[in-house]
Chains A and B, each alone.
Chain A
Amino acid sequence: MASLFRAYGRGLGVLLLAIAALWILALIVVPLGAMIEQSLWWKDSRGDITLQIDRLYNEMATLQLDAAGETDAGRKAGFEAQIAQKQAEATALEAQETNPPKTYGLANFTRMSGLHFYIFIRTIIYALMVTGLALVVCYPMAYAVALASGPRKAVVLTVALIVPYAINELLRVYAWLMILDYRGVINGILAWLGMVDLDNRGWIPFLENPSAVFLAMIYTYVLFMVFPMVNTLETLDRNQIEAARDLGASSFRIHRRVIIPHAKPGIAVGCIMTFMLSAGSYSVPAIMTRGQGGDWFSQLVYRQFYESNNWNMGSAYAVSLLVVCTAFILIMMRLFGVGLRDIAK
């Protein structure tokens, strides 16, 4: 901090610190804090409360009838007092009904149903599989792009990687939907070849299978896996590859001992990004499965917020996912032996 003041002077230094603090507050502390706070309480809305209120009003009506037919002033006053008491009880219950009391605790996390927990675990496994597949698909691509040179490289990069990303993500996912649909491009070609019979619903139901989601996700997040790897691979001294070859190493050994160790930070960053994006992706599974291929956890979170209208439960789900993703980052960093400093590069 002292060096900041020395470099920019007191006024500008304070301003920079203030901007950084505002950034941290607005982008990290407040949204995350709100989400976590939301997940830690619930409203005690007992289901029988409406019934109790109804019963009290019924009793009051009966008492009012009784009071209206009563001539003795003393007993009439007794009825009136009973009515007033019931009215007070009903008002209290009504207040509880419209604004149930907040209770803090971890119940939102422990209350997850067996099915939802199963979907949670399955989503994590699916996201891991997407990450693994994306890594396998992207490594050779990143290698080719990083080691290509001159104008060819620019062409490969722009045409193969950047141009698809100029198109909105939803459109790209819908494109895959059209390709894989019952009467989509692939089934159409198969029908034309006479291998399936579309008229009798003899199509191949690609979309009822989680691999359709995998495919679309890998396609959607390819860039996030490729770019970090290209960045690190570009810094590899090619003489090292030649030296390894000259010393008699096979291509496989060169990759295993020289190139992949060098690319580790890039691989770690690519895996982290792809895992986080796929574990939290809503649109891809929602569009690709159309409810046929099994929900992903992100869809459950969405439903808790907007269909069950239970924001507390939704927040708890979201926080659970966040915890798992954070754990994944830490595990990847440990596994690949890279620090935050390497990743920041």
Chain B
Amino acid sequence: MRGKDVRLDQVSIRFGDSVAVQPLNLTIEAGEFFSILGPSGCGKTTILRTVSGFIEPTIGRVLIGGEDMAGKGPNERPTALIFQNLALFPLMSVAENVAFGLEARGVAKAERLKRAQELLELVALGGYGDKKPADLSGGQRQRVAIARALAVEPSVLLLDEPLSALDLKLRQHMRAELRAIQKRVGITFIYITHDQGEALAMSDRVAVMSRGRLEQVAAPDTLYAEPATPFVATFVGEQNVIRGTLRRISNGAASVDTPLGPIEGCEVGTPGIGAPVLVMVRPERMTLGATRDNSIPVTLKARHLEGPSVNLECVTGGQTLTVTLANGPAMRDLPADLVLGFGREDARVYAEGALAHG
């Protein structure tokens, strides 16, 4: 199996009057594990259905392996889709499910059952061919769906939140499994999810979407460390958001006046001096005790033990700030009055914009 690249060229999708996807360009490399991350209704599933051929773009082109897919139905594209509810055929055996794509291509029965058996072994379900999907556990059904999709030897595998129905433990296990399968078969995976943990853990690159727009396309590390917009910053991971007014910029450094006092940060994309801005600091980038760049005196309100780490909920000037610190003996008896410090490079200053959580 060989992966193919997928290119969306000025693709826009409308349903009647509503625009589901704003015009966007996106290139997904061959053999890449690519995630599209966003809240429900952001247009990510629409993009997936466009690539798989269930929806034709209103304008723009979809190219797979350089070939224009216009006018080609889902059954004519080198893609296979794994549905959110898996959509296994309940009345067929597991082996028949896996062999269905080959059956549709007219492969002889003995040949296709042999192939199905190989694929079931690939997903570690070798002995389950005669069972019905209902007899399997959630994780096993998941793997049957993957085997069924791989049976047609797609160049691009499309996954529509396939892990969302599983419980947390199984979900974490399946992340590793999916990633391993992708490495083994080497085809392009396009993975849709609203769970940032999944996207960060599995992907080579992640696209974050909001309201039908692409917010940022980047590798998971970049996405987390250098979010491009306030939406990405707050959607991926936790943030302390402090509103303020931009006082001065020089050489990428930004000084902001906030109700908590002046904050020194780094500028990400700000309007002019005097404009309203958002300062974002990740909870784990804050420390106890003053630093050279920023120090904010706060009152400790609550302490939430997570196990390996501790979350401290602090208040100052009517605003709540959260700090995540590694757990240790020093975290046991904290005084009520603390000073929070963080470096200039950890305080990212954005122009006022939409946040992920209100």
Contacts and interface: CB of A to CB of B under 8 A. Distances in A.
Nearest to B76: A248
B271 interface: no
A262 B105 contact: no
Interface stretch (A127-135, A137-145, A239-247, A309-317): A239-247
A247 B73 contact: no
Contact of A257 (B89, B148, B149): B89
A103 to B, nearest CB: 54
Nearest to A250: B104
Given A242-B54, A242-B74, A248 B104 contact: yes
Contacts of B75: 245-250
A303 interface: no
Contacts, number: 63
A247 B148 contact: yes
A261 interface: yes
B104 A253 contact: yes
Contacts of B330: none
A338 to B, nearest CB: 12
Interface in A224-278: 237, 239-240, 242-250, 253, 257-258, 261-262
Most chain A CB inside 10 Å of its own CB: which residue of B75, B103, B105: B75
Interface stretch (B59-67, B79-87, B177-185, B238-246): B79-87
Interface string B82-106: 0111011101100000001101110
B100 to A, nearest CB: 6
B188 interface: no
Contacts of B152: 247-248
Most chain A CB inside 10 Å of its own CB: which residue of B88, B91, B149: B91
Contacts of A249: 75, 100-101, 103-104
Contacts of B52: 246
Nearest to A253: B104
Contact of A243 (B79, B83, B103, B105): B83
B87 A242 contact: yes
A247 B87 contact: no
Contacts of B89: 240, 243-244, 257-258
B91 A246 contact: no
A257 B85 CA distance: 19
B100 A246 contact: no
A248 B105 contact: yes
Nearest to A264: B91
B240 to A, nearest CB: 41
Contacts of B92: 257
B87 A239 contact: yes
A239 B100 CA distance: 15
Nearest to B81: A246
A246 B74 contact: yes
A244 B100 contact: yes
Contacts of A244: 89, 100, 104
Contacts of A242: 54, 74, 81, 83, 87
Interface in B126-183: 148-149, 151-152
Contacts of A246: 52-54, 74-75, 79-81
A250 B105 CA distance: 9
Contact of B91 (A245, A253, A262): A262
Most chain B CB inside 10 Å of its own CB: which residue of A237, A253, A262: A237
A245 B148 CA distance: 13
Interface string B270-291: 0000000000000000000000
Contacts of B74: 242, 245-246
Contacts of B80: 246-247
Contacts of A239: 83-85, 87
A100 B39 CA distance: 88
A263 to B, nearest CB: 11
Given A257-B89, A258-B89, A261-B91, A247 B83 contact: no
9 contacts: A243-B89, A246-B52, A246-B53, A246-B54, A248-B101, A249-B75, A249-B101, A249-B103, A253-B104
Interface of A: 237, 239-240, 242-250, 253, 257-258, 261-262
Closest 3 CB pairs of A and B: A239-B87, A247-B101, A249-B104
Interface of B: 52-54, 73-76, 79-81, 83-85, 87-89, 91-92, 100-101, 103-105, 148-149, 151-152
